[in-house]
Structures are given as C-alpha cells and as structure tokens.
Amino acid sequence: MIPLCVPNLAENEKKYLDECVDSTFVSSVGPFVGQFEREIAKAAGVPYAMATSAGTTALHIALVACGVKRDDLVIIPSYTFIATANAVAHCGAQPLLVDMERSSWTMDVSLLEEELGKNTEIRNEQVIYCPTGQRIAAIMPVYTLGNVAKMDILSGLAQQYGLPVIADAAAAIGATDRGRPIGELATATVFSFNGNKTITSGGGGAVVSADQALSERIRHLLSTARIGTEYTHDMVGYNYRMTNIAAAVGLAQIEQLDKFVAKKREIRSFYNDAFKDSEKCELFPDQDGESVCWFSGILLESETAVRHLCKVLAAHEIEARTFWKPMHLQPPYKDCMRTGMDCCENLWSRVLTLPCSTGITYEELEKVCAAVKEGMKVL
C-alpha cells in the first residue's frame, strides 16, 4: 500500500521518547517543550513560540489573546480545513467567509478589500459589519498547502482597519515570503504538528509572534492563567499546553525540517513533470519555490473524474483523496455571511491529492503516476 501522507520517524524520535520515560518528564514539565519552542521560533524567524496541544487550540488561544469575543466576526477564507472556522466558533464568534484566489488557493485579497469597503463602517473605533451590526475582530488568512497568502496587501488592509491578523499557517512551517521566514507577516502565526503535517509531534501546535506582550498573554492563558506556583489564577485560562512527550517527537522532527521540505518540493516537481502536458488535468499552484508543498496532486475536470481516479488508484493499492470542502457548504457554517464563492465552488471538488509522504520513494512515485495515467485514459 502507498499511503497518502504518513509520518517519517526514523531519526531521534525514539531516543528522545526514551529520555522522557527515563526521566519521568512525560507531562507538561520537561526540557523538550522549551527546546522545541526555540526551534519553532527560529524556523518562523521570530523571537517567540508557544507550543500547544493542537493546531486548533493554538488558533483558538491566538484569537482569544487578540481580543476576539462572543458575537464578533472573524474573516476567514471559505476554502480551508474546518479547524479554522471551529476556532472562531470556540470563541463564540462567527466566521465571515471570503472566496479564494485561483493562483494560490488562498484568500482573495481583492474580494476582502471590496467586502471591507462596501459593507463596513467605523463606529467608536470599531469595524462594524453593516449587514448584521456585528464587530469584525480579526482577519485569519490560511496558507493553503503551504502557500503564503498575499500578505503585503492583506496586512495593509488590516492596518488600515486596525484589525489583528492571525495566520493559519498550520501546514506552512518552513515556507518563505520573498526569501523571508513567515513569522513576521502577521500579528500571530499558527502551526499544526498533527500526524499528516510535514513535521509532527503526534498531536500539537504552536503560536509564534514577534509581539512580546501578546506572546506573554498567550503563554499565560494556555497554562490555566496561573500566577506563581500556587493555585491562584487571574482569569479563565485554558489547559492547552504541549506535553514533553509530544515535544520530544516534535524536536526530533524539526531537526529534519529542511530535509522534509526539500522532499515535499521534489514530490511536487515529480508530479508536475509527469502531468504538465496532460490535457485532462491542471497542476497544483506553485509559488516560485517558496511554498512548502504540504500536499501534492492534480486538479481534474470534474468531481466524477476525481472519484474515478480514486477507485483506479485504490485498485493499485494507492491511497488518493479529495481535499477540503469549503466552509459555506458545511452544515455548521452554511448560514455564515459571505462573499460570492465562484472560485472555490468551481475548484474544490476537482482536487485530487496524491501520495506525498516524505518517506516515499521514486519507484513509488513512478507507480502512482503510471496508475493515474492509466485511469485518465477512460476520462
């Protein structure tokens, strides 16, 4: 079986886990959390990193720390994994959904600009969304597949409206923006270390930021808002810390980040070379070597073609899958306020993701391409 995307745990993972058990530091105290955080901050190019129990909890705590409250609106792209929208809902707030752009599959910043210009007004220094009277509290772009959104334009708009930007960079650790690491592009940036991401800690996440006060607030909130070592807590906090066990795996993984990202990019090039001349598909969006190419695959002509190829590949013991379904088509978010959705409605069901584990071999990649080509003959 060639799986879609599985962890690659061949280096120090076992050794560091043994150290956890031998030292009894298996929970939220222990040296690996701090070490992992320093490496995450370095990879993001910012001074602060706070490790969490998941990407979702990192998104939630970043929103809370940036002041998102009940009944606020948070602007997110409709084309994302549901955790982005769930983090907003966990604050008691609602997503305001914006379509994606075709070239990078990230939030369409011209639609964002139009929406802010057309439907908001400033009252008491707050951005009010006129159709509902709600406050807009933040913008949360998503770095789809490891592609950075158009952050210069997006940050310009955020600044103009006085809104914090929390970037959902769940699968984008290692990506760059015109040569620079991505941590400084937003008020706070969130990574996930779930099992299917480029590097994993089993389960986990992190918030990174260049803002010291914000980072201290996040660190305080995610460890039950405790003051000192006794049982005094000065606000309603969260138990969102990463454990030393998870950080042990995460540290062993981040030591290999450059190697893993290079492999993800090679996998992308391999598929692009194999399918660039095909009339039956298009390629995934690229960003001149700056994307970390988290998932790779092809864009087919129809959903039927995707289902057909999944079946053909399954018969060859190759795992291939559809990708994200937009938020405005999900039962919990179908009534959210939104822009037009022409781009994501045209695109989402035509996406086919192909095997892209960092441990995949060239023989396996060849086998996948041959099976895809066989399946395409009857499209």
Ligand X SMILES: *Cc1c(COP(=O)(O)O)cnc(C)c1O
- Residues forming the site for ligand X (CB under 6 A): 54-56, 80-81, 83-84, 142, 168, 170-171, 192, 194, 205
- HSE (side-chain half, CA atoms, 13 Å) at 82: 9
Q: Are 37 and 208 in contact (CB under 8 A)?
A: no
Output the smallest distance, CB 83 to ligand X, in A: 4
Rounded Cα distance between 73 and 129, Å, is 8
Q: Are 141 and 154 in contact (CB under 8 A)?
A: yes
Residue 318 is classified by DSSP as B
Output the smallest distance, CB 306 to ligand X, in A: 19
Closer residue to ligand X, CB minimum distance, 9 or 82: 82
Q: Are 194 and 54 in contact (CB under 8 A)?
A: yes
Closer residue to ligand X, CB minimum distance, 84 or 253: 84
Structure tokens at 245: 């066990």
Closer residue to ligand X, CB minimum distance, 134 or 200: 200
The H or E element that residue 368 is part of is helix 362-376
Residue nearest to ligand X (CB): 55
The H or E element that residue 151 is part of is helix 151-161
Q: How many of the other CB atoms lie within 10 Å of CB of 231?
A: 8
Output the smallest distance, CB 280 to ligand X, in A: 27
Instruction: Tokens 């999944």: give the residue.
Output: 310
Rounded Cα distance between 171 and 199, Å, is 9
Closer residue to ligand X, CB minimum distance, 134 or 209: 209
Output the smallest distance, CB 163 to ligand X, in A: 20
Closer residue to ligand X, CB minimum distance, 84 or 287: 84
Q: Are 166 and 124 in contact (CB under 8 A)?
A: no
Output the smallest distance, CB 171 to ligand X, in A: 5
Closer residue to ligand X, CB minimum distance, 192 or 256: 192
Task: Give Rg (Cα) of the chain.
Answer: 21
Closer residue to ligand X, CB minimum distance, 192 or 358: 192
